[in-house]
Chain A
């Protein structure tokens, strides 16, 4: 984490570093500036050659259209329900599984641990069809529960992986002391281990929420009714439904990006720490 206080690094020459940083920021940020700029343009301003950089009379008409004349608010609500639901479920399952993997030895543990990761390695496209049939049999197509469950494939493996490494880093001695005092395993998990792994928990929550909020393919296949459609599907629909209305599409993109950007930047340090912990150790 920390730079050497004593020794000066022979880094890149400062001008090159600065130019590089500016180019990097431009590449990463420009599409978002263009997205926002387009979202507050009026129709004639959007469709002019040459394009104008910034609208003369910024308008919120596109936002009005998105928020009051489309299905986007409904999809926004669906997205919140599904993302929160699957994040909570993934967190609960991952806490128990990670604790089991981190603190116990049992037969077949290596196999089971790699089985958990297999879900992450599986090509999504290869399991869409049977998953769809499974959900249909269970009556879960076009329900919140269907997507919440399916998202376990996406979120659970990495969540278990991240939390296991967090739990392992907590000294066992703390728990052993509690066992001697007669605490149960569950009691230990909730009163000692969990409070000590808050950064890991936050990392899992952010990861699971961001991933499910952004997920497109499963939602496209398993949520075809507008009562359960999520925002990504709404946006895709929007750009075909109003094929030429790029202002509204860009406004919808802003609406969809804001919550995730806010969540991410407020939790960024914890999240990046939790995510990269496993990578640098392995």
Chain B
């Protein structure tokens, strides 16, 4: 056997499994989206039906709002936590471990625990906030249309900022010490080090992590589904949940497939724009 085919043999089993689970279903989605229940070709009927539904644009904006809002705070808090955890202090190891906890626990556990804490009558958050005088009376955080989305974003930020923190921390730890030494010779203070050494040096890590966060954000059904199922009145309905509902609650696989195709296309465009935008501004910090 020459080297050429030996390598392929090693790689092949994994590729076959992934092809079966990824390539085939993706192709099949395309087919489903242009046919009806009986498998007859119907052109773009499914697409126009889905686009005509009132929930679709609403879900689209909710998704953007949820993903965008989550990512901004995940990156800001995650980076801040990483800089903090890169300082020298007693007990740093244990604080680092504890910081990872929200990321490790099952999403469903995070969702139910926070739902209980945000409970209108018996929740600890209403109690603490009314007690501290932040709000005059208990708020129905998860039933009120204007508070439910920010609350879900906050829970999502809590769940994933630790991931940003460990990745950025790893980046911070790999910054060579001469950079700090040089800055110190020039009399730089802590904040100047943050903005002129740390952030530029971990930029590539932040970029990679943000891309992952975008993808995970577009996938994040668990927290919203477990807490609100898209309600109240579709205020937290995001596209993945709409697809799920179309497929498994209305059992309309063809329309669900059409929505999947559009969702996939939009996700792909967002990812490409993001990569292009970053590639074209190499010098910019953050």
Contacts and interface: CB of A to CB of B under 8 A. Distances in A.
Interface of A: 1, 3-4, 7, 9-12, 14, 17-18, 20-21, 24-25, 27-29, 31-32, 34-35, 38, 46-51, 93-94, 96-97, 99-101, 103-107, 109, 112, 115-116, 118-134, 149-150, 152-153, 156-157, 160, 185, 210, 213-214, 216-217, 220-221, 231-232, 235-236, 239, 246, 249-250, 253, 256-257, 260-261, 264-265, 268, 272, 275-276, 279-280, 282
A25 B98 contact: yes
B205 to A, nearest CB: 6
A256 B9 CA distance: 39
Nearest to B254: A129
A34 to B, nearest CB: 6
B98 A29 contact: yes
Given A97-B10, A105-B3, A119 B116 contact: no
B7 A109 contact: yes
Contact of B7 (A12, A29, A100, A250): A100
A31 B104 CA distance: 14
A31 B108 CA distance: 13
B108 A232 contact: yes
A236 B8 contact: no
A261 B109 CA distance: 12
| B interface secondary structure, majority | helix
B84 interface: yes
Contact of B101 (A32, A49, A119): A32
Contacts of A105: 3-4, 7
A213 B26 contact: no
Contacts of B55: none
Contact of A104 (B10, B115, B204): B10
Given A28-B101, A261-B101, A12 B84 contact: yes
Contacts of B273: none
Given A25-B95, A130-B26, A156-B18, A261 B260 contact: no
A96 B10 contact: yes
Contacts of B173: 1, 280
A47 B123 CA distance: 9
A261 to B, nearest CB: 7
Contact of B260 (A35, A127, A213): A127
B84 A21 contact: yes
B264 interface: yes
B13 A27 contact: no
A260 B189 contact: no
Contact of B29 (A104, A127, A256): A127
A100 B89 contact: no
Contacts of B177: 4, 7
Interface of B: 3-11, 13-15, 17-18, 20-22, 24-26, 28-29, 32, 81, 83-85, 87-89, 91-92, 95, 97-102, 104-110, 112-117, 119, 121-124, 127, 131, 158, 162, 166-167, 170-171, 173-174, 177, 180-181, 184, 188-190, 193, 204-205, 208-209, 215, 218-219, 221-222, 225-226, 239-241, 243-244, 247-248, 253, 256-257, 260-261, 263-264, 267, 271
B101 A129 contact: no
Contacts of A99: 10
B221 A125 contact: yes
A221 B256 CA distance: 14
Given A127-B25, A216-B226, A256 B244 contact: no
| Most chain A Cβ neighbours within 10 Å, of B100, B108, B115, B190 | B108
A122 B264 contact: yes
Given A97-B11, A253-B112, A125 B104 contact: no
A11 B190 contact: yes
A126 B63 CA distance: 14
B196 to A, nearest CB: 13
Nearest to A107: B4
B141 to A, nearest CB: 15
The winner among B6, B18, B99, B114 for most chain A CB atoms within 10 A is B18
